[in-house]
């Protein structure tokens, strides 16, 4: 059975594009849940504010980040890692909003990943000019678990590469309310985000918001 057979039970099959053997872009998956999710994210950011992170080599990242859920992803001089305490507040990260984990589990299942239990959500905010270099997501403990990525606001070219940094990559546009799920054979692909172009989006204004929801532990 392919993962798409699961759609047989659904009234409306979400529009999707397979970008890899086990990587699927669900167009407009978040539909009209966008405003609720974003207002929940704004509440999170009142407690654990956005901040620029620094790579272990001291390079300031152009995006601003925060987290919610049991674990938050961090980088600083001590390296890349997940941590239960927000170093800005010295408190646990805010809880992951329930609707966020429900939507993430739902879309992971549509992509064929059944036992996904999210415990971490990285919030990245891109202003025009911000970007994310090619990288692998490999700080999680179990690579059989997928990653779910929700995008809001200004569209961006997502760079979708291979298993070596130098492999050639494709560009895939991520739009407001899109969900991207990847795992399995594609879990350790290099990926990144091209510089965000200037613009104003009706829902988010002059930015792009990306949420990556994971099972870190």
> Which residue, 86 or 137, is less far from ligand MD6 as judged by CB?
137
> Which residue, 67 or 124, is less far from ligand MD6 as judged by CB?
124
Partner that binds at residue 111, options ligand MD6, Fe ion, none, CB closer than 5 to 8 Å by kind: none
CB of 56 vs ligand MD6, minimal distance in Å: 17
Question: In this structure, are residues 37 and 98 in contact, taking their beta carbons and an 8 Å threshold?
Answer: no
Partner that binds at residue 113, options ligand MD6, Fe ion, none, CB closer than 5 to 8 Å by kind: none
Site for Fe ion, rule CB under 5 A: 137
Site for ligand MD6, rule CB under 6 A: 124, 132, 137, 147, 149, 158, 180, 182, 191, 193, 210, 212
CB of 149 vs ligand MD6, minimal distance in Å: 3
CB of 152 vs ligand MD6, minimal distance in Å: 10
Partner that binds at residue 130, options ligand MD6, Fe ion, none, CB closer than 5 to 8 Å by kind: none
Distance between CA atoms of residues 135 and 48, nearest Å? 25
Distance between CA atoms of residues 76 and 58, nearest Å? 7
Partner that binds at residue 180, options ligand MD6, Fe ion, none, CB closer than 5 to 8 Å by kind: ligand MD6
The number of CA neighbours under 13 Å toward the Cβ of 188 is 11
**Three-state DSSP class for residue 44:** helix
CB of 2 vs Fe ion, minimal distance in Å: 26
> Which residue, 34 or 137, is less far from Fe ion as judged by CB?
137
Spatial neighbors of 145 by CB under 8 A, at least 6 apart, are 113, 116, 183, 214, 215
> Which residue, 9 or 57, is less far from Fe ion as judged by CB?
57
The number of CA neighbours under 13 Å toward the Cβ of 30 is 27
87-113 burial, b at 16+ Cβ within 10 Å, e below that, comes to eeeeebbbebbeebbebbbebbbbbbb
Partner that binds at residue 74, options ligand MD6, Fe ion, none, CB closer than 5 to 8 Å by kind: none
CB of 191 vs ligand MD6, minimal distance in Å: 6
Using alpha carbons, list the distances in angstroms from residue 121 to 66, 74, 100: 9, 11, 9
């Amino acid at each position: 059975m392919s993962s798409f057979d699961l759609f047989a039970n659904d009234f409306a099959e979400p529009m999707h594009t397979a970008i890899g053997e086990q990587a699927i872009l669900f167009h407009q998956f978040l539909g009209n849940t966008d405003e609720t999710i974003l207002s929940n994210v704004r509440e999170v950011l009142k407690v654990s504010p956005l901040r620029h992170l620094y790579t272990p080599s001291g390079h300031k990242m152009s995006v601003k980040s925060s987290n919610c859920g049991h674990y938050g992803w961090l980088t600083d001089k001590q390296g890349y890692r997940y941590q239960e305490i927000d170093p800005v507040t010295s408190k646990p990260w805010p809880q992951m909003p329930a609707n966020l984990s429900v939507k993430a589990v739902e879309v992971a299942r549509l992509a064929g990943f059944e036992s996904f239990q999210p415990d971490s959500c990285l919030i990245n905010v891109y202003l025009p000019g911000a970007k994310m270099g090619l990288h692998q997501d490999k700080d999680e403990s179990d690579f059989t678990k997928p990653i779910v990525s929700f995008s809001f606001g200004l569209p961006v070219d997502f760079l979708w590469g291979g298993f070596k940094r130098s492999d050639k990559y494709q560009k895939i546009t991520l739009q407001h309310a899109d969900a991207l799920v990847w795992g399995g054979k594609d879990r350790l692909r290099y990926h990144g985000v091209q510089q965000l172009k200037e613009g104003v989006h009706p829902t988010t204004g002059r930015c792009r918001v990306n949420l990556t929801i994971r099972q870190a532990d």
